[in-house]
């Protein structure tokens, strides 16, 4: 049967014979299934010539059903049918980097509406990095007066000689969190530590190993300044900041980052060296594991769980309660983590990174990536709790460019997180995305035209080489090539 024009494709569709038009939705009945049989996010929709009946066990289930109906309304004629639908993965997340370039609250809301349409249930909000700190802090005001502004922007070799910055006020953050909650999307803030912390160190230099005053970074890249792991001042600061962040975000999770943290300065720092010796650790990766575990224990006291990028596994001492976000993992440690029963989220660099051009990451590559990724044993697949599609913004300065890169790839990942592996159908996805595009346009989202989605191999090679040559510094390339898992 031809699939309905809905993304993600519903799990079961049974044709009842006959057709109706979209006015059928004007005759709608909602039934709450008190038994809970529909699950947290599932629902059923029956459409026949008598009208429409929506059944769900929760308010969230009704909301997810509404997103299906919004898409069905785009069709002039509909078959009479029965839909039974529920997600395969519990965790279906989109990431947005508001540190390198900020989005206005109105733009974020447009993005959130589009994400809700495709039934995402988490937003990973990247709010701190080397180039800017974006959360209003009353406890540490220099994070805003100093850490939220950089003197210029030099991403991808383009120089903008203007001060850039800002931060989301607590009122704005609460507004975004509430907007998401109405759409059954939980907002997970990321405080990226111990690396990607130049904005924090620029604000409070005593938190770094060298204790030197430094400016915010204006380029993309991986930088040596880390928060000092040997100093109690660092932990006092982070505990207090995490408490302030936890107050703003009612989410189950807080993301603690942990990616791209070179140990050069830790290796030179007397305090970090002394801490490593005192703890009897074998290497500085283990010091990062210990550092992260202290923050995880602090969050646990507040009833919160941590997500960390996969580099946090490098010391082999990460607390087992952590959820690991796999993005670039040549050593396959994320798969081992899942195989030992740890929770993992799939965010493969080569497939889910939407900041890269379609030449590098065609839509088919995004769609075809199997969330229960290579190396995860078949019986341990349930430990891959879901997917996060990422949108880093070093090269994304405006909302139209953001939408062009995010859509349709966001929709492709949303579908793969919702459906079962055996239901994947890329050709049908292309057709269904075309059907939903007018609705997205009316929501203020302009996706990439289908002619840009899957360039020829020749085009891919030319454009990818040009992109890397023009935009990416050699260290980032070294970091990116040679990945086997992704
Ligand atoms: C990352 O892309 N640095 C997680
Ligand atoms: Zn140190």
**CATH code where residue 38 lies:** 3.30.379.10
Residues 74 and 102 in one domain: no
Ligand 1 center from residue 112 Cα (angstroms): 22
Residues 122 and 187 in one domain: yes
- Residue 480, pLDDT above cutoff 70: no
Residues 21 and 114 in one domain: no
**Is residue 2 situated within a structural domain?**
no
Boundaries of domain holding 99: 91-484
Residues 279 and 357 in one domain: yes
Residues 81 and 185 in one domain: no
Which residue's CA lies nearest to atom 3 of ligand 1? 259
CATH number at residue 166: 3.20.20.80
Q: Which ligand is nearest to the CA of 392?
A: 1
Residues 262 and 126 in one domain: yes
Q: How many domains does the chain have?
A: 2
Please write the tens of the pLDDT for every residue from 261-316.
999 999 999 999 999 999 999 999 999 999 999 999 999 999 999 999 999 999 99
SS3 134: coil
Angle between helices 105-117 and 409-418 (to 10 degrees): 40
Higher pLDDT, 103 or 485: 103
Band of pLDDT at residue 482, cut at 50, 70 and 90: very low
Residues 70 and 129 in one domain: no
Residues 350 and 473 in one domain: yes
Looking at residue 471, its pLDDT comes to 78
**Is residue 59 situated within a structural domain?**
yes
Please write the tens of the pLDDT for every residue from 39-49.
999 999 999 99
Which of 43, 68, 85 lies at the terminal end of a domain, its last residue?
Answer: 85
Ligand 1 center from residue 327 Cα (angstroms): 7
353 lines ligand 1 (CB under 6 A): no
- Residue 474, pLDDT above cutoff 70: no
**Is residue 1 situated within a structural domain?**
no
Rounded Cα distance between 410 and 27, Å, is 32
Ligand 2 center from residue 200 Cα (angstroms): 15
**Is residue 5 situated within a structural domain?**
no
- Residue 215, pLDDT above cutoff 60: yes
**Is residue 6 situated within a structural domain?**
no
Rounded Cα distance between 67 and 112, Å, is 13
329 lines ligand 1 (CB under 6 A): no
327 lines ligand 1 (CB under 6 A): yes
Which residue's CA lies nearest to atom 2 of ligand 1? 327
- CA nearest neighbour of 249 among 212, 291, 302: 302
What angle is formed at CA 129 by the lines to CA 390 and CA 138, rounded to 5 degrees? 120
Cβ burial, residue 381 (10 Å; 0-12/13-18/19+): middle
**Is residue 4 situated within a structural domain?**
no
Residues 400 and 465 in one domain: yes
Residues 347 and 419 in one domain: yes
Ligand 1 center from residue 28 Cα (angstroms): 45
Ligand 1 atom with the smallest distance to the CA of 257 is 4
Which of 59, 85, 111 lies at the terminal end of a domain, its last residue?
Answer: 85
CB of 103 closer than 8 Å to CB of 402 = yes
**Is residue 470 situated within a structural domain?**
yes
Which residue's CA lies nearest to atom 4 of ligand 1? 259
Which of 23, 52, 85 lies at the terminal end of a domain, its last residue?
Answer: 85
Ligand 1 atom with the smallest distance to the CA of 327 is 4
**Is residue 3 situated within a structural domain?**
no
């Amino acid at each position: 049967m031809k699939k309905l024009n809905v993304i993600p494709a519903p799990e079961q569709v049974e044709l009842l014979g006959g057709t109706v038009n979209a006015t059928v939705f004007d005759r709608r009945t909602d039934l709450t299934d008190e038994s809970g049989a529909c699950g947290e996010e599932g629902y059923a929709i029956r459409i026949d010539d008598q009208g429409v009946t929506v059944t769900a066990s929760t308010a969230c289930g009704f909301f997810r059903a509404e997103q299906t109906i919004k898409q069905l309304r785009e069709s002039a004629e509909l078959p009479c049918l029965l839909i039974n639908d529920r997600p395969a993965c519990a965790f279906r997340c989109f990431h947005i980097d508001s540190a390198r370039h900020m989005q206005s609250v109105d733009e974020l809301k447009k993005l959130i509406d589009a994400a809700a349409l495709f039934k995402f249930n988490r937003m990973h909000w990247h709010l701190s990095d080397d180039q800017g700190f974006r959360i209003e802090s009353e406890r540490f005001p220099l994070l805003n007066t100093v850490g939220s502004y950089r003197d210029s922007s030099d991403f991808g070799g383009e120089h903008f000689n203007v001060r850039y910055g800002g931060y989301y006020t607590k009122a704005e953050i609460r507004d975004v969190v509430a907007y998401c909650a109405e759409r059954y999307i939980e907002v997970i803030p990321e405080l990226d530590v111990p690396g990607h912390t130049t904005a924090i160190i620029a604000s409070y230099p005593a938190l770094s190993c060298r204790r030197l005053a430094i400016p915010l970074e204006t380029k993309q890249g991986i930088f040596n300044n880390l928060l000092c792991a040997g100093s109690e001042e660092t932990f006092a600061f982070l505990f207090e900041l995490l408490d302030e962040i936890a107050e703003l975000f009612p989410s189950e999770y807080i993301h603690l980052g942990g990616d791209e943290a070179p140990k050069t300065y830790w290796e030179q720092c007397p305090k970090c060296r002394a801490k490593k010796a005192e703890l009897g650790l074998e290497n500085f990766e283990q010091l990062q594991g210990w550092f992260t575990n202290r923050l995880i224990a602090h969050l646990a006291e507040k009833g919160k769980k941590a997500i960390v990028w996969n580099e946090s596994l490098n010391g082999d001492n990460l607390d087992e309660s952590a959820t690991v976000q796999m993005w670039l993992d040549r050593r396959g440690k994320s798969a081992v983590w899942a195989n030992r029963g740890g929770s993992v989220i799939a965010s493969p660099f080569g497939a889910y990174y939407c900041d890269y051009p379609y030449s590098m990451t065609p839509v088919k590559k995004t769609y075809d990536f199997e969330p229960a990724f290579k190396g995860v044993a078949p019986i341990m697949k349930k430990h891959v709790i879901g997917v996060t599609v990422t949108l880093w913004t070093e090269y994304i300065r405006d909302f139209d460019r953001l939408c062009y890169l995010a859509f349709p790839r966001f929709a492709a990942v949303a579908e793969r997180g919702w459906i079962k592996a055996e239901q994947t159908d890329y050709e049908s996805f292309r057709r269904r995305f075309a059907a939903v595009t007018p609705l997205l346009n009316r929501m203020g989202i302009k996706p990439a035209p289908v002619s840009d989605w899957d360039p020829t191999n020749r085009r891919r090679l030319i454009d990818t080489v040009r992109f890397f040559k023009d935009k990416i510094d050699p260290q980032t390339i070294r970091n990116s090539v040679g990945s086997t898992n992704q």
